Amino acid sequence: MPYNPANELFNQLMKPYNLNLDHSGIKGERIAARLFEQSKIGFTKDGGVKRPGFSEEEKQAKQLVKTWMREAGLKVREDGAGNVIGRLSGVSDDLPAVASGSHVDSVPNGGHFDGPVGVLSALEVAESWKETNYQPKKPYEIIVFTDEEGSRFNSGLTGSMAMTGSGGLSAKSQLNDYNGDSFEKVLHNYGSSLEEFKKAKRDMKELEMFVEVHIEQGKKLEQDELPVGIVSGIAGPAWLEITFTGEAGHAGNTPMIGRKDPLTAAGAFLQKVEEFPGQVSETAVATIGKLNVSPNGINVIPQQVTLNVDIRDIHEETRDRLLKLITQEAEQIAEKRGIGIDMKQTTKIQPIPIKEELQNKLAASISKHDLQPSYIPSGAGHDAMMLGREIPVAMLFVRSKDGISHNPKEWSSLSDIVTTVHVLKEFIEGVMDE
């Protein structure tokens, strides 16, 4: 068998693991083994993972989780959006279910913890109940949402949007992926259709609440020397796709005066964007992480430049103010330089606060482990924010080494993950007993 660095992940997780955390039916080795198995699907030469939404790699990762769900005693189904739902019957099975989960897709060359940790944490709760012969009073669901990251269409949270019927299908159906394939074609290749995608909308009264575990993607828990924290609110992302169109020409024969260069316009725009977040909020951010130049020749003045802007804040008012500043700036730059501009808003999600009552319950679970509760706003978008528009949601963060995420160096220790699973289990059992 050829050498594969992914094979080291299991040992790296287990070597420093605190075995005293193995109790109440929860086993760190099982979580480590499953993180290792997931890491092999879409493994990259840089040691990361590439599992875009609706890809064969994402499908394989979900199939693996389906197998584990069935082994844990859950009934498993997959809806027309690609969401995987595993259900464990409760004593009173007609009550709304308590749900937990996350996603298994990734950004290009991402890490092994963003998404899978939340899925495997939710699954470990069910495994612990099987180990201890515990049947919850209410039904329990584990949900693996499809295409959370949005790397396929530059428009994420696809599965949770479909499940909640939060709109956006008409906009998504107009999108093309990185291969130029339409949303409808990608669904067809995956084994679904637009019609089946629409049927993924469910009656949200079937769910009492949703709680998601996720790596922090920040440094607060590391600075506070804490393994787990409570999310106080989730920022709402707005994504813009902006295309500047100018006039292509020969780099040597076209005078500088009179050029209509969309790349220099994009450069001026990039420089201005980083000035705006601080003008509206301490928590607002704006990022341009993707840029395409056409025809992209060394001796050719570009004809067209397309870039994507990620705009976020935990407050909707200031997020929208920042969005307005950025769109106005793009229009002004294009007008000043006499070039064309086209703007499409591909995502706009409402920020979601977490109910204080649920934060307090999570704090009580954390305190049982002689840990200090820490409250952290999430600047990243999560599937929980889509469900939070319909039902109560809660979130736990796991400490991230150096705050790194969306990167092969992403890391959370197994001890921190298992500690978080214990907190999740106690919280869910408390909700079940109400």
Question: Residues within the annotated binding site for Zn(2+)?
Answer: 103, 114, 149, 214, 406
Q: Which residues are annotated as a binding site?
A: 103, 114, 149, 214, 406
Phi then psi for 342, rounded to 5 degrees? -135, 130
Written as six digits, the tokens of 12 are 């790296």
At 305, which amino acid appears? V
Phi then psi for 277, rounded to 5 degrees? -55, -45
Round to whole Å and give the CA distance between 27 and 128: 8
Compute the half-sphere exposure of residue 4: CA atoms within 13 Å on the CB side of its CA: 16
Phi then psi for 301, rounded to 5 degrees? -65, 125
What HEC string does 194-263 produce? HHHHHCCCCCHHHEEEEEEEEECCCCHHHHHCCCEEEEEEECEEEEEEEEEECCCEECCCCCCCCCCCHH
Phi then psi for 91, rounded to 5 degrees? -60, -45
H/E run at residue 290: strand 285-294
At 80, which amino acid appears? G
Round to whole Å and give the CA distance between 74 and 93: 13
Residue 94: Cβ-neighbour burial (10 angstroms; 0-12, 13-18, 19+) = exposed
Compute the half-sphere exposure of residue 247: CA atoms within 13 Å on the CB side of its CA: 11
